[in-house]
Chains A and B, each alone.
Chain A
């Protein structure tokens, strides 16, 4: 009878070459404080210059989410003291964000839903505090890294819906190639705003939940907070507007900041950055260069390549995999290509933690393996073994198969000669077969394979043996 109403604020770190307001490299995992300059350290006298690429990325994100673009848009200062923030204010877009009023469709349990996008704004990231026994140190490598914050309307109504939306959002951002979208590395961060109410009553007071490091944590936090709020209301209590921190391992949330201690951020325009005008032709050009997103691509892959929707979904969950699939499928049997990628390649990626596009297995090589498999010259097992090796080493496929003697015997004359001698030597088994013992057939296959040192194509042996048993009723 209570309904949860959910909105999310999602930060993506943009994968630009350089930071938002200076020319320092934007990179994760480098030595501490090696990617810094007067601007991103907030030294006296240093002032920002906007990174055009970051603006382009934000524009792409906005257009991919159906937003309207504000031209001009503007930066503002958000003041609060925190030791990892070099200027002691964040440079963000509080009054006129770059993109507003979008809408995103996403699928939940086979049904299409949609949620409004309130705004997308650009802002700079802070540094990182590193706590240790010896005290706290600060790494400013991340300070000034460009972020976009995507804020939805309160238009999501369950954990499943929220996660489905976030999956769609992550997919779109990764298709745009503007962010690594890695929650564990913090390049995608989700905060949840949630309130509960009875459907015919006004919206309740919302709380904000932070510290959500995975989609699973998002789902758990939503369930947990919904229950908590309902319980408070049922017990006659009042929901306070506050920020809570969710602990996914314990499955509980605790108050981080209450309304009383909430800061006044004193937003006001950043005087060092003039308003940004985005020309209409730039918007049109960006819009027309948007990639085909996962949903459309799934439908196209099913229609054009005849693969299953289930496989298409898996393949399109990574733009690079989908590109890889299309490259492979253009060179060999399309369904087999889907089959191999979904079953073998993704598993191999998981095992090795290497993306197939970074591996030695180029699309051409995988297509070559599939090609010789489909021609019957190698067995399925051999082809799997080949994929494994070719993933890690830059082998020449044919040379490797030859050297290892992995080609199958497909010559029907050789195979029928072998079968004939087996049938002669095993007349009693042939009689058994004629008397209806099906196991006898397998035995004869096995004997033939043995005679051919296991190198014969099992398909051809099966076929020939069947034919020969049928045509030689007198044997």
Chain B
């Protein structure tokens, strides 16, 4: 199973040298899934037949030297809220348990055009709502570093699949940290681009103004190349802008004399001691690479979590209205009339966390509450965006922990909702302000659980942000540590 420990770029180089064929990689991928996914529950759907078919075509292209892209023939896993034509797209929900999308998301079209091979659809918190991948109708995802721990969420399946090297990388989606946080929990790299850099067409919406499709990978170089592919042109998402120079053109540039800002607020209070220590070590690494580090204070950060939950739930409450049992998805078996049908279908089709967020969001935009909650949250959002704009006049990157703690035990539901939601405190700012952000592994707790460090950049300067992480990964090897259980 050695091939699977390689990075995607290394696999690609071997294919180019004709030392290995895509179908060999794909076979190894499915052997590994068969052996280990019973433990991790990373996949909801695996696509063995179509993957083998596609791999054979990729073999032919590789042999004739006509590969479609650098990742032609490389397997990739897809979070199950990204629409894939002819394949189930469940969003981790009973509501869409048997829903087969009739079209491909734009990002999927780009993957297919690049010759990439879909290995399967990964498990996730229902509709992306959660940070432990335990609200899935298909059961919780288990962390490959310790199966009694959560893989983080909501893209926990993608993170676990990459961490256990079933696939070299996977697509996730990040609404409030759902790519970066599970990446941190599972010791892998996660990239969320600037809002608008990747088309959202075909990404089942949780919160449309925050959602971005992102990448979870072994390392930042692989992830950045994959970002280049999925961020290609689109005319179906009005908020799509793209990224003119792509993600990779600054990857090997030096970070010497660059200035990194660190928000003081993030290092007070809630942060776990071991996480804090790992973070400070990462800061030292950046200093050794020649970066200047400054601490700053931003008062408005104390409002980001409520701001995030009001806006995201408000949008979610209407985004999820379409799941009514009328056109597709779960329909309650017994009902008296159309309204009763809609009520019963939604009541039993959605899980508890989803229903809670729909109710919170509905509450926040009633005519009575609009000004009190939604409008205020939008004001905070505007304020936060311009505050970050000013910060990036001074700093080349902002650095902070990805999450206040390492992976939490599964099966112990956080009873205090506020505390659970506060665990997103470091990641939501990037979504609120539309900034690019990433997480890379930066150490382990005594228990052996991975810890992640986050870098944030200026809007549409994703490539520059990535240069900090590639430099970090050039001189560290945290991202090369593999979970023992998976081998």
Q: Does residue B478 face the partner (Cβ distance < 8 Å to A)?
A: no
The interface bits of chain B over 194-226 (1 if a CB of A lies within 8 angstroms of the residue's CB, else 0) are 000000111111011100000000000000000
Task: Label chain B's interface by main secondary structure.
Answer: loop
Q: Does residue B420 face the partner (Cβ distance < 8 Å to A)?
A: no
Q: Does residue A235 face the partner (Cβ distance < 8 Å to B)?
A: no
Instruction: Please measure, in the bound complex, the distance between the C-alpha atom of A136 and the C-alpha atom of B203, giving whole angstroms.
Output: 31
B103→A38 contact, CB < 8 A:
yes
- Known contacts A38-B103, A81-B339, A268-B374: A48-B365 contact under CB 8 Å: no
Q: Smallest distance from the beta carbon of A180 to chain B beta carbons, Å?
A: 28
Give the contact-size bracket for chain A: 20 to 34
The interface bits of chain A over 84-96 (1 if a CB of B lies within 8 angstroms of the residue's CB, else 0) are 0011110000000
Q: Smallest distance from the beta carbon of A266 to chain B beta carbons, Å?
A: 4
Give the nearest-CB partner of A50 in chain B.
B238
A48→B318 contact, CB < 8 A:
no
**Contacting A49 at CB < 8 Å: which of B103, B207, B235?**
B235
Instruction: Please measure, in the bound complex, the distance between the C-alpha atom of A359 and the C-alpha atom of B82, giving whole angstroms.
Output: 52
Instruction: Please measure, in the bound complex, the distance between the C-alpha atom of A272 and the C-alpha atom of B202, giving whole angstroms.
Output: 13
Q: Does residue B362 face the partner (Cβ distance < 8 Å to A)?
A: yes
Instruction: Please measure, in the bound complex, the distance between the C-alpha atom of A88 and the C-alpha atom of B321, giving whole angstroms.
Output: 6
Q: Which of A414-432 contact B (CB under 8 A)?
A: none
Instruction: Please measure, in the bound complex, the distance between the C-alpha atom of A273 and the C-alpha atom of B238, giving whole angstroms.
Output: 6
B342→A45 contact, CB < 8 A:
no
Give the nearest-CB partner of B200 in chain A.
A47
Instruction: Please measure, in the bound complex, the distance between the C-alpha atom of A23 and the C-alpha atom of B174, giving whole angstroms.
Output: 29
Contacts of B205 in A (CB 8 A): 44-45, 47
**Contacting B367 at CB < 8 Å: which of A46, A138, A264?**
A264
Instruction: Please measure, in the bound complex, the distance between the C-alpha atom of A112 and the C-alpha atom of B365, giving whole angstroms.
Output: 44
**Contacting B96 at CB < 8 Å: which of A44, A87, A88?**
A44
Q: Smallest distance from the beta carbon of B398 to chain A beta carbons, Å?
A: 25
Instruction: Please measure, in the bound complex, the distance between the C-alpha atom of A267 and the C-alpha atom of B365, giving whole angstroms.
Output: 7
Q: Smallest distance from the beta carbon of B212 to chain A beta carbons, Å?
A: 13
- Known contacts A38-B103, A264-B366: A44-B321 contact under CB 8 Å: no
B314→A83 contact, CB < 8 A:
no
A47→B238 contact, CB < 8 A:
yes
Q: Does residue A79 face the partner (Cβ distance < 8 Å to B)?
A: yes
Contacts of A138 in B (CB 8 A): 326-327
A81→B321 contact, CB < 8 A:
yes
B315→A271 contact, CB < 8 A:
yes
Contacts of A38 in B (CB 8 A): 102-103
Q: Which of A44-87 contact B (CB under 8 A)?
A: 44-50, 77, 79, 81, 83, 86-87
Q: Which of A258-286 contact B (CB under 8 A)?
A: 264-268, 271-274
Give the nearest-CB partner of B378 in chain A.
A269
Q: Smallest distance from the beta carbon of B110 to chain A beta carbons, Å?
A: 15
- Known contacts A81-B342, A272-B208: A49-B238 contact under CB 8 Å: yes
Instruction: Please measure, in the bound complex, the distance between the C-alpha atom of A48 and the C-alpha atom of B238, giving whole angstroms.
Output: 7
Q: Does residue B116 face the partner (Cβ distance < 8 Å to A)?
A: no
Q: Does residue B99 face the partner (Cβ distance < 8 Å to A)?
A: yes
Contacts of B235 in A (CB 8 A): 49
Q: Does residue A169 face the partner (Cβ distance < 8 Å to B)?
A: no
Q: Does residue A458 face the partner (Cβ distance < 8 Å to B)?
A: no
**Contacting A266 at CB < 8 Å: which of B83, B207, B322, B365?**
B365
Contacts of A88 in B (CB 8 A): 318, 321-322, 324
Q: Smallest distance from the beta carbon of A93 to chain B beta carbons, Å?
A: 15
Q: Does residue A41 face the partner (Cβ distance < 8 Å to B)?
A: yes
Contacts of A271 in B (CB 8 A): 207-209, 239, 315
Instruction: Please measure, in the bound complex, the distance between the C-alpha atom of A274 and the C-alpha atom of B239, giving whole angstroms.
Output: 7
Q: Does residue B105 face the partner (Cβ distance < 8 Å to A)?
A: yes
A266→B204 contact, CB < 8 A:
no
Instruction: Please measure, in the bound complex, the distance between the C-alpha atom of A47 and the C-alpha atom of B105, giving whole angstroms.
Output: 11
B327→A86 contact, CB < 8 A:
yes
Give the nearest-CB partner of B366 in chain A.
A264
Q: Does residue B101 face the partner (Cβ distance < 8 Å to A)?
A: yes
- Known contacts A81-B342, A138-B326: A45-B321 contact under CB 8 Å: no
A45→B327 contact, CB < 8 A:
no
Contacts of A87 in B (CB 8 A): 318, 321-322
Contacts of A89 in B (CB 8 A): 318, 321
- Known contacts A38-B102, A44-B83, A47-B201: A86-B236 contact under CB 8 Å: no
Q: Does residue B47 face the partner (Cβ distance < 8 Å to A)?
A: no
Q: Does residue B354 face the partner (Cβ distance < 8 Å to A)?
A: no
Instruction: Please measure, in the bound complex, the distance between the C-alpha atom of A271 and the C-alpha atom of B83, giving whole angstroms.
Output: 20
B236→A266 contact, CB < 8 A:
no
Q: Which of A8-58 contact B (CB under 8 A)?
A: 38, 41-50
Contacts of A42 in B (CB 8 A): 322, 327
B201→A45 contact, CB < 8 A:
yes
Give the nearest-CB partner of B208 in chain A.
A271
Contacts of A81 in B (CB 8 A): 321, 324, 339, 342
Instruction: Please measure, in the bound complex, the distance between the C-alpha atom of A136 and the C-alpha atom of B339, giving whole angstroms.
Output: 13
B103→A266 contact, CB < 8 A:
no
Q: Does residue B307 face the partner (Cβ distance < 8 Å to A)?
A: no
A47→B324 contact, CB < 8 A:
no
B322→A49 contact, CB < 8 A:
no
Contacts of A41 in B (CB 8 A): 327
Instruction: Please measure, in the bound complex, the distance between the C-alpha atom of A271 and the C-alpha atom of B238, giving whole angstroms.
Output: 10
Q: Which of B333-371 contact A (CB under 8 A)?
A: 338-339, 342, 362, 365-368, 370
Q: Smallest distance from the beta carbon of A25 to chain B beta carbons, Å?
A: 17
Contacts of B315 in A (CB 8 A): 271
Q: Smallest distance from the beta carbon of B281 to chain A beta carbons, Å?
A: 39
List 25 interface pairs A-B (beta carbons < 8 Å), by A numbering: A38-B103, A42-B327, A43-B83, A43-B102, A43-B327, A44-B83, A45-B82, A46-B103, A46-B201, A47-B208, A81-B321, A81-B342, A86-B322, A87-B318, A87-B321, A88-B321, A89-B321, A138-B327, A264-B367, A266-B318, A266-B365, A266-B366, A267-B367, A268-B374, A274-B238
Which residue numbers of A lie inside 8 Å of B, CB to CB? 38, 41-50, 77, 79, 81, 83, 86-89, 136, 138, 264-268, 271-274
- Give 18 A-B pairs besides A79-B317, A272-B238 with Cβ atoms closer than 8 angstroms: A42-B322, A43-B327, A44-B89, A44-B328, A45-B81, A45-B82, A45-B201, A45-B205, A49-B235, A49-B237, A81-B321, A87-B321, A88-B321, A264-B366, A266-B366, A267-B370, A268-B370, A274-B238
Q: Which 5 A-B pairs have the closest CB atoms?
A: A88-B321, A271-B209, A271-B208, A44-B204, A45-B202
